[in-house]
Amino acid sequence: MGGRVSSEDAYVMGGAQARQVLPRRGDGREGRALTPDAAERVRGLIAAARESLAEDGRGGALANALEEHLAAPGPVSAGIVHRIVEHASGTWQAEETACFVDAWVAEHGVVFAAEAALCSALHRIDRDGALTGRFDTEAVEWSWAGHRPLARVRHALAAASDAEHAAAVERVAAHRGTLRGRTLAAFLLPTETGWVGPLFEELAGLRSAFITPWLFLGSVGDREWLEALVDRCPVEGVTAPSWVLPTLVDAVGPEGVLPTLVRWLPRLPAAARKRVLGLVAEFPLDEAFAVLAGQGPPGVKPLRDAVKRFPERAARLAPAELLPAPADPLPEARADEPVRLPRPLVDPPWEVAPVVERVVVPGLTPIDRPGVVWRPGEREEWLERELFSLLTDPTAPADWSRALDEVARANDGQAGHPVLLLAPEEPARRVVVAWRPENAGGFWAWGPRLVARFGVDAAGVVAHVGATRRDRAVEVAAPLVSAAIATLFAEWGDRLKSMRGPAAAYFARHGVEAARPLVPAALGTREGPRRAAERALRLVADDLGEDAVLAVAAEYGPGAEAGVRALFDRDPLALLPRTRPSTPEWANPLTLPPVLLRDGGPALPAAAVANLLAVLAVPDERARRAGLVPVREVCDPASLAAFGRALLRAWLAEGALPAGGWALTAQGVIGDDETARELAGLIDRWPGEGAFQRAVTGLGALGSIGTDTALRAVDLLARKGSTKGLRERAAEAIALAAAGAGLDPEQLADRLVPDCGIGAGVVLDYGPRSFPVEFDRSLTPLVVLPDGRRRKSAPTPAATDDPELAAAARARFSLLRKEITKVAAEQAERLERAMVVGRRWRGDEFRALFTTHPLLSHLALRLVWAVFAEDGPRPFRLAEDRTAADVADALVELADDAVIGLAHPLHLAGAIPVWSELFADYEVVQPFPQLGRPWAALTEAERAGSSLSRFAGEKAAPGRLLGLIGKGWSRDASAAPSAPPWLRRRLDEGRWALLDLDRGLPFSSFEHLPHLLLGELRLSATGGPGRDPGDPPFSGLDPVLVSELLADVGGTLAR
């Protein structure tokens, strides 16, 4: 090696950073050119300051001081003039500072400029606008922009002649009598080590001294000084001004400054941390790689930059996924195997613009049929919404007619809405129809009440507000349909990514009624409204079919119908944009896994992969899907999905910035079952990391994958998600998927139960040997040996077995055991819930789900079922041959239209002992408590009332009461402090169960706590602590639900 220095060991600061470095005398940097008209511009700034001070009532003293120092030439007065003009300007820009300094240098020389800049920094103007002379404290405001004249003069001093420099040292030295003067002088002349060293020793000895970041860091000359005072420097200012960090690195060097930067990083805000990591990426140090690798997502991009800058070091230290792949890793098609790739990959519209003929039908006027569509309970909930007290006036005016006239005249929403909500309905309705309020403050709060009261007559108000304040009107407008509101939702959904979901929901709610008024815009000449309307028509067509949209288009005449038909018949690829969507650096075709063609074909070439990434980045979902249809037809699904997963991981590693969120939504189009499993785990984790919206987007992608595995994952998140918000969003997603299949969520969940390979028969292949797998009553997989013996573990491979096949078989068996255990537990829980809520199946549906399904039938064999007829339930069980039998083993016929459900102990009454004995004889172990389940019934007197006193005065264990939280009960979170504590459980719309307690339930540490005394168990119509004559009686509840409530509370008793 001979002492040769590698190019990767030399530090070269990036150009943008290097230009920020403040010079030191002798470092070879050239001085800055002076502003040509600096003196003239300074005169203009002084004139503006005079005018400003004349207008300011407190500016008299400063104005006098300005004139006094203008008349007394000299560096001290010049500095004070600069300080006064700076204060009078209010906002001080670097360009203005440059003019003053350059004028001083041009007219008086650099020595004068140095003293003037120093004197400007040594004087202050107090809050009352008075010039109070030199600072009388040792503090320096680190946020003050006084660094600008000093930094500008420092450039001039670094390039000054020796004589000028010596004279400047002498003049500046005269102002070093205070700590502030010494600090400013060290910054201005950092090569005067006789000043800088002693100053830092002085500062280190002052416990209360406040070290200004830009002064301190701009003066540091070696690592020892930096280490001595780094912890006294507020990190908030280490990256401002912009020259601070480059100047520090230039003075101390990468090796000297890196430990300090590492100490600062955890305390820096995100923007400052990003800048520091960008600097570290330029350091030719192994330690710098380690620092970047340890920063998580914020360090990924700087680490990528470091990999490019130092390829040899990267080969030793960087993570493999960040290393560039070989220049051309993707195999091309062989010459004898020509491959025709789809147009989006070889001739996308951003390279070869397609010819699209616009269909225009002029002269159409929107057909406007305003209406309102309420979801169940929505209007009632809106009518009951509470309003801010300052937005309502409960005092009824003496004359409602006059008050309404004033509302109509003033058009003030904030002042007028209380009158409209409280006035007699019909007179108020006449005002609302024409009312267009200019001040709609709080509309998001009172708008729902207005719409709930006046319905479609409020559509004009909502459209008026929505036209200028979308944020206030989105929710309020959802139930209403009119030409104006439909147009708003179409435009919002087209322009704003955040509004695509609400817009899709709006058009799904209103269907053709919202599509009808958009037909003229879809066939018009204005590009923006045309695109938005066409997109909305396609949304409705996707939901209801093209014929439904064509039917409303026909209301405008045959020309309009033909025009809309032509829109629907247009080449779907015409939806792709003409401008190529930008893709970030982490979406690099050369670092992502190859995408193979079907049937063992070659990989896509890099150029085609780049176009594939651009298609995935198309923001419009419909256009993106249209572009991917032909891609999916030719590409191997498994490799395409693996490509997508790698893309998702790259986005997450880069910090998951919103601009790259298309990597997440793309999973819904190119993902497979493996994608669904990986994505489900991420979605469940993200809310806990503060990324709830990302989790919601991921749910959409998971549902879009559409396979049974993906929908099962959504269903599981709806039941077991990590947060309440996630469970609610997942429940909405699974309900939407179920509705699309014509099912309810539970019916869909029935059909998504996997068979775990049981139905096809599982065989462990060891090569020369193979072992079939059977399942016992409890679904435990058992390996059948050649001699007929059964064992719960896979056999150890013999010397004659194929080692790879045997290892794969053993891994498969281990995974099978885990999967079956998990699925069986999930389904047992679902069946228990079905028994409690009284779910029923038709006879033919029951046979399809429970007698033939390989996994569910094993669970069904271990439970008691019943045919629910008018004359009462008739219990049965499933025998080994899957036929139905009663407790005497007599055959039970199950008609196709029979109503079948799980028997609750209440349905079995006195037969429980007989059924229990039968199951014991057959050695059946139930998957959840059924025959041995606690149950209870009410007396006739209890059924007639809304409260039960059977538990009043009983002692309950705090820990057992807390266990009710997992059974649907919740703590009292809203009662007044004076109200007694209670637990409650929502039963259905308008019915709650409340359990009174003698004191509040603790959150933890139940050990050694005294028992709580229970009060009444009662029903409430509102869920509040008060009692109301309208509280429902227990007679209205299903007896099974009552039994479960009684069992819940009974299980908490300390007996």
- The string of pLDDT tens digits covering residues 239-268 is 777 788 888 888 888 998 898 888 888 878
Separation of alpha carbons 1020 and 1033, rounded Å: 9
Question: Which residue has better confidence, 500 or 951?
Answer: 951
Q: What is the pLDDT of residue 94?
A: 53
CA distance 241 to 218: 10
- What residues have CB less than 8 Å from 502, skipping those under 6 apart? 474, 478, 489, 492, 493
Q: What is the pLDDT of residues 66-91, one digit of tens each?
A: 888 888 778 888 888 888 888 776 55
- The whole-number pLDDT of residue 491 equals 92
Conformational region of residue 704, where left means phi above 0, alpha means psi within -120 to 50, and beta covers everything else:
alpha
pLDDT of residue 1: 39
Section 211-228 average pLDDT: 76
Query: Once rounded to an integer, what is the mean pLDDT over residues 10-33?
Result: 79
Confidence of residue 335 (pLDDT cuts 50, 70, 90): very low
Residues 6+ apart with CB under 8 A from 1000: 972, 981
Predicted confidence (pLDDT) at residue 528 exceeds the cutoff of 60: yes
pLDDT bracket for residue 56 (50, 70, 90): low
Q: What is the 3-state secondary structure (H, E, C) of 30-86?
A: CCCCCCCCHHHHHHHHHHHHHHHHHHCCCCHHHHHHHHHHHCCCCHHHHHHHHHHHH
pLDDT at 838: 93
Mean pLDDT for the stretch of residues 611-634: 88
Average pLDDT, the chain: 83
Please state the rounded mean pLDDT for residues 506-528.
91
Mean pLDDT across the stretch 923-938? Answer: 94
Residue 338: predicted pLDDT = 43
Confidence of residue 95 (pLDDT cuts 50, 70, 90): low
Q: Confidence class of residue 688 from pLDDT cuts 50, 70 and 90?
A: confident
Average pLDDT over residues 986-1012: 77
Go through 126-135 and write b for each residue having 16 or more CB atoms within 10 A of its CB, e for each that does not: eeebebeeeb
CB 648 within 8 A of CB 663: yes
Candidate from 216-230, 348-362, 703-717, 828-842 with smallest mean pLDDT: 348-362
Distance CA 73, CA 417 (A): 67
Give me the residues paired with residue 1014 across strands.
997
pLDDT band at 336 (very low <50, low <70, confident <90, very high): very low
Structure tokens at 414: 């904030």
Task: Give the residue, 142 or 11, on which the prediction is more confident.
Answer: 11
Report how far residue 974's alpha carbon sits from residue 839's, in angstroms, rounded to the nearest whole number.
33
Nearest Cα residue to 454 out of 530, 394, 574, 370: 370
Q: pLDDT-based confidence at 978, cuts 50/70/90?
A: very low
Amino acid identity at 213: P
| pLDDT value, residue 134 | 52
Bridge partners of residue 982, in order along the sequence: 996
Q: What percentage of residues in the chain have a pLDDT greater than 90?
A: 34
Which uninterrupted H or E stretch holds 771? strand 770-775
Cis check for the bond before 241: say yes or no (omega within 30 of 0): yes
pLDDT digits (tens, 9 = 90+) for 352-394: 655 556 778 888 999 999 999 988 778 888 887 765 433 344 4
The better pLDDT of the pair 895, 757 is held by 895
Q: Closest Cα partner for 1025 from 995, 1000, 1001?
A: 995
pLDDT of the residue at 129: 64
Q: For residues 172 and 189, is the Cβ–Cβ distance under 8 A?
A: yes
Distance CA 221, CA 363 (A): 77
Residue 444 sits at the vertex; the CA angle it makes with 442 and 448, to the nearest 5 degrees, is 120
Lowest mean pLDDT, pick from 24-33, 762-771, 881-890: 24-33
Does residue 218 or residue 518 have the better pLDDT? 518
Of 445, 460, 319, nearest in space to 382 by CA: 445
Report H helices in 496-620: 500-510, 512-515, 519-522, 527-544, 546-553, 558-569, 606-616
Query: What per-residue confidence (pLDDT) applies to 147?
Result: 66
Looking at residue 673, what is its pLDDT?
93
Per cent of the chain over pLDDT 70 is 87
**Dihedral of alpha carbons 373, 376, 379, 381, sign:** negative
Give the distance, in angstroms, between the CA of residue 1001 and the centroid of all CA atoms in the same chain.
34
Beta strands in 837-978 (DSSP E): 841-842, 865-869, 872-878, 884-885, 899-902, 947-948, 955-956, 969-971
Find residue 546's DSSP bridge partners.
none
User: What single letter denotes the amino acid at residue 93?
Assistant: Q
The domain segmentation of the chain, as residue ranges, is 19-217, 371-570, 606-747, 753-933, 940-1050
- CA gap 974, 45 in Å, rounded: 61
Contact 27, 157 (CB under 8 A): no
Mind listing the pLDDT tens digit for each residue in 740-759?
777 888 999 999 898 887 76
**In angstroms, how far is CA 407 from the centroid of its own chain?**
42
Q: Please report, to the nearest 10 degrees, the dihedral formed by the alpha carbons of residues 900, 906, 909, 912 taken in order.
A: 80
The rounded Cα 563 to chain-centroid distance in angstroms is 40
Question: Among 81-85, 296-300, 814-818, where is mean pLDDT lowest?
Answer: 296-300
Residue 960 has pLDDT above 50, yes or no: yes
Structure token digits, residue 109: 């020389």
Q: Which residues pair with 767 in a beta bridge?
A: none
Q: How confident is the model at residue 138 (pLDDT cuts 50, 70, 90)?
A: very low
Least confident of 6-15, 811-820, 976-985, 1045-1054: 976-985
Asked whether residue 337 carries a pLDDT value surpassing 50, the answer given is no
- At residue 394, the pLDDT reads 46
Find, among 538, 444, 554, 559, the residue nearest to 494 by Cα. Answer: 538
Kindly write down the DSSP assignment for every residue of 351-364, as one continuous string: TSPPP------TT-
What is the pLDDT, as a whole number, of residue 339? 52
Rg (alpha carbons) of the chain, rounded to whole number: 39
Give, rounded to a whole angstrom, the gap between the first and last alpha carbons of the chain.
84
Residues with Cβ < 8 Å from 999, sequence gap 6 or more? 981, 1012
Q: In terms of DSSP bridges, do strands 872-878 and 865-869 run parallel, antiparallel, or are they unpaired? A: antiparallel
Indicate the SS3 state at residue 125.
strand
Among 53-62, 164-173, 430-439, 535-544, the range of highest mean pLDDT: 164-173
Q: If you average pLDDT over residues 49-58, what whole number do you get?
A: 72
Element containing residue 155 per DSSP (H, E): helix 147-158
SS3 for 789?
coil
Most confident of 387-401, 704-718, 757-771, 977-991: 704-718
Amino acid 1035: pLDDT: 94
pLDDT of residue 122: 82
Task: Answer yes or no: is pLDDT of 579 > 70.
Answer: yes
Residue 944 predicted with pLDDT over 90: yes
Alpha helix (H) ranges present in 617-740? 621-634, 637-653, 662-665, 667-670, 673-685, 692-705, 708-720, 724-740
Maximum alpha-carbon separation in the chain: 120
What is the pLDDT, as a whole number, of residue 201? 81
Least confident of 125-134, 200-209, 696-705, 907-916: 125-134
Amino acid at 843: G
Q: Would you say residue 802 has pLDDT above 70?
A: yes
Give the range among 86-90, 430-434, 662-666, 682-686 with minimum mean pLDDT.
86-90
